[in-house]
Amino acid sequence: MNIGDPAKPYFLDVDTGSDLTWLQCDAPCQSCNKVPHPLYRPVQNKLVPCADSLCTALHSGLGRNNKCSSPKQCDYRIKYTDSASSQGVLIADNFSLPLSKSSNIRPSLTFGCGYDQQVGKNGAKPAPTDGLLGLGRGSVSLLSQLKQKGITKNVLGHCLSTNGGGFLFFGDGIVPTSGVTWVPMARSTSGNYYSPGSGTLYFDRRSLGLKPMEVVFDSGSTYTYFTAEPYQAVVSALKGSLSKSFKQVSDPDLLLCWKGQKAFKSVFDVKKDFKSLSLSFATGKNAVMEIPPENYLVVTKSGNVCLGILDAAAAKLSFSIIGDITMQDQMVIYDNEKAQLGWMRGPCSRSAKSAMSSSP
């Protein structure tokens, strides 16, 4: 995204699992990771004061240890589930946003200027992004701010391609009018997450005989996580269904991996050897999310195929997460206007513009 005056480019991690957008920031920086672009440089008169309603909302969402060190500024500290964290102050600056009608707007939006970042367990060094794009349900989320300013509806969608790339949109301009599976948004018991409610897991169209599990959609999570029982059930079902030509091996990248007669190049080499999973949501009408093998498997640098679903309990999570691996080649839509979540299979390698022209 292009931020500032004059606008400079920054790469942001698209995260529907948290609210605050932040950039690594030369305020000066106490602890910053090596990032793709020069650090954002804040200007004193762009500080958001402590009394600002977005500061109050952010603090109430983050809990007790967030308070202001002076009335002139809004301090924050956020910890993420992988124990990464960002500490900084709120700032308001212009975002240059392309509208679908090919003009640009430059609203002033509030975000975090992070001068102390700690990398989490899975953090890459150097970091591939300059900061994070918070698209959760809270009022400090960029989407809520755009809605507040009357710029777009409170709707967003993303389409991540299996080949890398994809697109992200705000507003309901390219939401397809048919073909989308919709479920009402549930109140997540674990926080203010986007949740389609409880889902029942099937393997190869057969029920695994498990209680439904609470599910959350989180684009900030690379992998998908299942709570303990469903995770163990999937592992057993997979092991029981694989042919003898797959041998279990250890791989530095993931926990459960197999090698074949020769190294695999992509998940499409093994698609026919693995069965599909699916999640059925009772709240929607025939609401099923198909999870074919390419939406839960990873082929590693070593040419092994690994399970891209991890154990939520080991990650200290009390709910299941549908992460990026399972969202690939599906348009996923978070509609806060109608309080519903939707998904629709399709290639995400096309641009948003071609998606627009094919939807009425």
- In 3D space, the residue among 302, 324, 303 whose CA is nearest the CA of residue 122 turns out to be 324
The torsion defined by the Cα of 269, 300, 17 and 187, in degrees rounded to 10, comes to: 50
For residue 291, give the amino acid letter.
I
| pLDDT at residue 359 in the model | 44
What's the whole-number mean pLDDT along residues 30-55? Answer: 92
pLDDT (tens digit per residue) in 278-291: 999 987 677 999 99
Lowest pLDDT segment from 3-17, 183-197, 252-266: 183-197
pLDDT (tens digit per residue) in 161-197: 988 889 999 999 999 999 999 999 998 777 789 999 9
| pLDDT at residue 90 in the model | 96
| pLDDT at residue 284 in the model | 67
Q: Assign 145 a pLDDT band (cuts: 50, 70, 90).
A: very high
Going from N- to C-terminal start, the domains of the chain cover 2-152, 181-357
| pLDDT at residue 101 in the model | 76
| pLDDT at residue 124 in the model | 58
| pLDDT at residue 121 in the model | 62
| pLDDT at residue 277 in the model | 97
Whether 116 sits among the annotated catalytic residues: the reply is no
| pLDDT at residue 164 in the model | 83
| pLDDT at residue 360 in the model | 35
pLDDT higher at 127 or 299: 299
pLDDT (tens digit per residue) in 303-336: 999 999 999 999 889 999 999 999 999 999 999 9
Fold classification of 2-152 (topology level): Cathepsin D, subunit A; domain 1 (2.40.70)
Name, in order, each residue with C-beta under 8 angstroms of 19's C-beta and a sequence gap of 6 or more. 58, 61, 134, 136, 137, 138, 139, 140, 141, 144, 192
Whether the Cβ atoms of residue 300 and residue 257 lie closer than 8 Å to each other: yes
Whether 269 sits among the annotated catalytic residues: the reply is no
Lowest pLDDT segment from 25-29, 30-34, 100-104, 198-202: 100-104
Domains 2-152 and 181-357 share a fold: yes
| pLDDT at residue 163 in the model | 84
> Does the structure show a pLDDT above 60 at 236?
yes
pLDDT (tens digit per residue) in 191-231: 789 999 999 999 999 999 999 999 999 999 999 999 999 99
| Catalytic entry in 75, 130, 218, 335 | 218
| Catalytic entry in 15, 75, 324, 329 | 15
pLDDT (tens digit per residue) in 62-73: 876 678 889 999
pLDDT higher at 85 or 233: 233
Q: Is 278 exposed, middle or buried (0-12, 13-18, 19+ CB in 10 A)?
A: middle
- In 3D space, the residue among 162, 185, 165 whose CA is nearest the CA of residue 299 turns out to be 162
> Does the structure show a pLDDT above 60 at 117?
yes
What's the whole-number mean pLDDT along residues 11-34? Answer: 93
| pLDDT at residue 170 in the model | 95
Q: What is this structure's pTM?
A: 0.92
Fold classification of 181-357 (topology level): Cathepsin D, subunit A; domain 1 (2.40.70)
> Does the structure show a pLDDT above 50 at 56?
yes
Residue 27 CA to residue 67 CA, distance in Å, equals 19
What's the whole-number mean pLDDT along residues 27-52? Answer: 92
| pLDDT at residue 125 in the model | 64
| pLDDT at residue 354 in the model | 61
What's the whole-number mean pLDDT along residues 54-60? Answer: 91
